[in-house]
Amino acid sequence: MGTNGNEEVTSLYSLSCRDRRFSKHIHDNVHGNIYLDPVPLMIKVFLEMTFCLLLMQFFLQFVDTEQFQRLRELKQLGLTHMVYPGAVHSRFEHSLGVYWLAGEAVHTVQGHQGSEINIERNDIRTVKLAGLLHDVGHGPFSHLFEREFLPRVLNGSEWSHEDMSVKMIDYIVDAHHIEIDSAILNNVKEMVLASSANASQNTVNEKRFLYDIVANGQNGIDVDKFDYIVRDSRACGLGCNFQFQRLLETMRVMGDEICYRAKDYLTVHKLFATRADLHRTVYTHAKVKAIELMVVDALTLAHGELSISASIQEPAKFWKLDDSILRQIETSDKQELKKARDLVLRIRRRDLYQFCNEFAVPKDKQEHFKDITPQDIVCSQKNGDTPLNEEDISVSIVKIDLTRGRSNPLESIKFFQDYESDYKFPMRDERISHLLPAFCQDMIVRVYSKKPELVGAVSKAFENYQLKTYGMKAQVHDTPEKKKCRV
């Protein structure tokens, strides 16, 4: 009877996985219907000495928490919507997308190689949960919070959203009494950290490839990028000719790492090239950066009154922090927030910091490049020029690469010739095309004037700096005269 009962449980579980009636579905504008699959719990009815199966909406337990729902209030692209009005999608829908693609990826390799790589049900559940929760620790305004605001108010803070995601996962489990196997929970957290500076190097002893599906610290190919590249391109009204489906459907595990067909080399390159193009045209758009610089200044001015950074180590407080903090500053009547409030109002009225000019740092200067500061610009003025103060200038240094700085990420990716081959190998660019880039990073220095009447003076000082540093004006174009003469 016991054997038959177990077989009945297994059969019912398999049916539940195939039959979408057992799942909660959400319609997504990128992937269509996303299903939050149930997870079985076996309970024993002692009176009848039989086993029963309870289908529990396991993933929904995490989604239907205030901590996960908070992701609706975090725009995926931070302040980019103020230049690209359609870019108002949230971390919430992106997280659901990564959950779905993580499941598709692990199901693909299981379907092709299930017997040889031994993927179990708990492995699938773990990878999908890591995809769902990988961004639950993000702060307001996307990466601006951790990369620009916190280092300014906390003297070079190295706080990361990945570390906070791990803390938030533990908090959600404890606060909502979610029953989850401790081994699964630990593996989920390791997967979330897989591409961060704090990724564990020695805790993964088997099935290493599973840790590269959501956040790949080995070569940068992961379903997180698959989702946001397509989702961000669509939201901004841009075309996207990168097809993640081609890589998702043909990936293969060889020697405990995910490898790709040699004929898909250009598709892999297109992943990194499309990401770099989004950074150049969307994420680091000159006007987007101007707005971000203003928001960082506003948050810094408000920090003393609002103690914005006080919650960054405490999930119980941190989950209450979201993009609405800008609205909080804008609508406050407190005199202590007047300077910050005035800056936010300038953004609303489109009285932005004025982009003066930019230059690309020469390739041979990048390795030992020293950050340019407003003081460098001020000190480059000549006698008789309109006097400037450091507070009049803002400098933005933008790095655009293929995920590995000046290194080519494709060199760390392994390929296979065909499905009959057991041999994996790296592939150098020159074997594919001489049109592929020979250098993998751009570094761009942009200078902004905080006051429109000083654009001319700031532009001139910036040109003097370039002449003094490089012996020439390295900028691509001159600052328009109409901006220089604006008063």
Among 94, 134, 161, 303, the active-site one is: 161
Classify residue 457: in a domain, yes or no: yes
Residue with tokens 């690309």: 360
Q: Is residue 19 part of a domain?
A: no
Same domain (yes/no): 119, 254: yes
Rounded CA separation 474/471 (Å): 9
pLDDT in tens, the chain (487 residues): 344 444 444 444 444 455 566 778 899 999 999 998 776 555 455 445 454 545 567 899 999 999 999 999 999 999 999 999 999 999 999 999 999 999 999 999 999 998 889 999 999 999 999 999 999 999 999 999 999 999 999 998 899 999 999 999 999 999 999 999 999 999 999 999 998 766 665 556 689 999 999 999 888 999 999 999 999 999 999 989 899 999 999 999 999 999 999 999 989 999 999 999 999 999 999 999 999 999 999 999 999 999 999 999 999 999 999 999 999 999 999 999 999 999 999 999 999 999 999 999 888 888 888 999 999 999 999 998 999 999 999 999 999 998 888 888 888 899 999 988 889 999 876 666 666 777 889 999 999 999 999 999 999 999 999 998 888 887 777 777 777 766 5
> Left, alpha or beta for 243 (phi > 0: left; psi -120 to 50: alpha)?
beta
CA 381/CA 38 separation, integer angstroms? 66
Residue 328: inside a domain:
no
What is the predicted pLDDT for the residue at 6?
45
- What is the pLDDT, as a whole number, of residue 24? 85
Task: Report yes or no on 227 lying in a domain.
Answer: yes
Is the domain of 241 the same as that of 378? no
Q: Which domain holds residue 238?
A: 58-286
Are the C-beta atoms of residues 302 and 329 closer than 8 Å to each other?
Answer: yes
Query: Distance between CA 358 and CA 376 in Å, rounded?
Result: 15
Contact criterion met (CB below 8 Å) for 70 and 43: no
Across the chain, which distance is largest between two alpha carbons, in Å? 97
**CA proximity to 230, closest of 222, 219, 238:** 238
Shortest CA distance to 329 belongs to which of 321, 338, 320? 338
Do 246 and 374 have their domain in common? no
Which among 157, 325, 131 is positioned nearest to 222, based on CA atoms?
131
Q: Which value, in Å, is the radius of gyration of the alpha carbons in the chain? A: 26
Q: According to the model, what pLDDT value does residue 257 have?
A: 93
Q: Are residues 117 and 265 in the same domain?
A: yes
Q: Tabulate helix, strand, coil % of the chain (nearest 5).
A: 50, 15, 35
Count of domains for the chain = 2
Output the domain CATH number for residue 106. Answer: 1.10.3210.10
Identify whether residues 248 and 359 lie together within a single domain: no
Please tell me whether residues 174 and 68 are part of one structural domain: yes
Q: Which of 286, 309, 333 is the last residue of a domain?
A: 286
Structure confidence at residue 478 (pLDDT): 73
191, 211 Cβ separation under 8 angstroms: yes
Last residue of a domain, one of 249, 264, 286: 286
CA distance 272 to 426: 17
The residue from 286, 319, 338 where one domain ends is 286
Compute the distance between CA of residue 64 and CA of residue 56 in angstroms, rounded to an integer: 13
Per-residue pLDDT at 210: 96
- Beta-carbon count within 10 A of 349 CB: 8
Has residue 306 been placed in a domain?
no
According to the model, what pLDDT value does residue 434 have? 67
CA distance linking residue 154 with residue 297, whole number of Å:
14
Predicted pLDDT of residue 37: 79
Q: In this structure, what DSSP letter does residue 433 have?
A: -
* Residues 178, 188: Cα–Cα separation, whole Å: 14
Residue 228 in any domain: the answer is yes
Pairwise CA distance, residues 245 & 248, whole Å: 5
* 54: nearest Cα among 69, 43, 62, 67: 43
Could you tell me if 143 and 276 lie in one domain? yes
Active site residue 143: no
Domain match, 85 and 227 both? yes
